[in-house]
Amino acid sequence: MKKILALTLALVLALSLCACGGGNADTTTTDNGDAADTATVEIPPVEDLTGTDTSAIPGVEDGVLTVGMECTYAPYNWTQTDDSNGAVPIVNNPGSYANGYDVMIAQRICDTYGWKLEVQAIEWDGLIPALNAGTIDAVIAGQSMTTSRMEQVDMAGPYFYASIVCVAKKDSEQAKAKGISELTGTCTAQSGTIWYTDCLPQVEGAQIMAQSESAPAMIMAVESGTVDFICTDMPTAMGACATYSDLAILDFSDTEDNFKVDEGQINIGISVVKGNTELKNKINNAITDMIQDGSWQRAISDNTRGVAYTPNAKYNPPVPNGKGNK
């Protein structure tokens, strides 16, 4: 069932995301409720840094950047069956291809320096162990730049800021909530995320159930009625609602009755091995170039096409300094 959900999310997002019920500050719709088309952003040629000598940088001595991601976490990353729309082969899953915002970011980084991109599909809890074991060179998988995570790895970025929201059935009592203090019932979130460890405990009226092992499993939990609501970030919530029209996004970001988190928990970064400052700096430089030349906005637009998603302007575009945001 989880594989079916992951494929469904991928197909929906690869074609066109559809608007979801529930008000939020990060999306805009037309007066008739239909999502406005996302404008195409023209991208100038990639800055030619292919002559830069990177042969001494740990991880890319061979000119290959091996990146780990779940490949089930739409719209950040997903699996599809062909190489359409810039999808990249998944080296440890022959016949499958990775696509999404994370893949576009990874490819742009590689294009900047003339590296070849390799993508490995790895479950969420195995990403950092794989990085520290040398199986992969970087993790680009929608990871928050938390203090605990940065004790294990160094992080480039942020390359995105993601609002935290909840998702529930449209016709549920939870969908009527105006803030987290009004939420009741059972809930869950993905394992290894701040949504589960830091956000859900703030909902005093909720009964926290066992954590979900993946984003698709989390979405299926609320869709199937196993739980009353889930906590996630805005892009993931939009992907869920694009797949299941009976779900609604609960966004409390414009209220005082919202989740309390620090910036590190909502800044999304790229993990590299602790001490690999050279690779971290090269990635930060490439992200900065993307922001300046418009390709960062293009990556957002292409992966949220159909919903006119506008990243929170308070934090986006991000400041890739390896520490947090502005």
Summarised one tens digit per residue, pLDDT across range 250-273 is 999 889 999 998 877 788 899 999
Between 5 and 274, where is the model more confident?
Answer: 274
Average pLDDT across the chain, whole number: 82
Handedness of CA 94, 100, 102, 103 (dihedral sign): positive
Q: How much is the pTM?
A: 0.72
- CA 23 to chain CA centroid, Å, is 20
Considering only CA atoms, which of 243, 218, 254 is closest in space to residue 306? 243
Report the alpha-carbon distance of residue 280 to residue 12 in Å, rounded.
Answer: 33
Which tokens sit at 294?
């418009």
Cα–Cα–Cα angle for 117, 120, 125, rounded to 5 degrees: 135
Query: Do 238 and 25 meet the contact criterion of CB atoms below 8 Å apart?
Result: no
- 147-167 mean pLDDT: 91
3-state secondary structure 53-119: CCCCCCCCCCCEEEEEECCCECCCEEEECCCHHHCEEECCCCCCEEECHHHHHHHHHHHHHCCEEEE
Strands 229-233 and 97-99: unpaired
Q: What are the residue boundaries of the structural domains of the chain, listed by start?
A: 163-261
Q: β-strands 164-169, 97-99: how paired?
A: unpaired
Run of H or E residues at 269: strand 267-272
Q: Which of 26-35, 115-124, 158-167, 189-198 has the lowest mean pLDDT?
A: 26-35
Positive or negative CA dihedral for 154, 130, 190, 15?
A: positive
Indicate the pLDDT class of residue 17, thresholds 50, 70 and 90.
very low
Q: Given a cut of 70, is residue 20 above it in pLDDT?
A: no
**For residue 203, is pLDDT > 80?**
yes
Q: What is the pLDDT of residues 133-154, one digit of tens each?
A: 999 999 999 898 988 899 999 9
pLDDT digits (tens, 9 = 90+) for 34-70: 333 333 334 444 455 556 777 789 999 999 999 999 9
Q: What is the CATH code for 163-261?
A: 3.40.190.10
Would you state the structure tokens that stand for residue 37, as one six-digit string? 């088309």
Q: Grade residue 239 by pLDDT with cuts at 50, 70 and 90.
A: confident
Mean pLDDT, residues 80-97 taken together: 96
Question: Does 233 have pLDDT greater than 50?
Answer: yes
**According to the model, what pLDDT value does residue 33 have?**
34
Q: How far is it, in rounded angstroms, from Cα 326 to Cα 324?
A: 7
Please say if the pLDDT value at position 225 is more than 70. yes
What average pLDDT does range 298-322 have in this prediction? 64
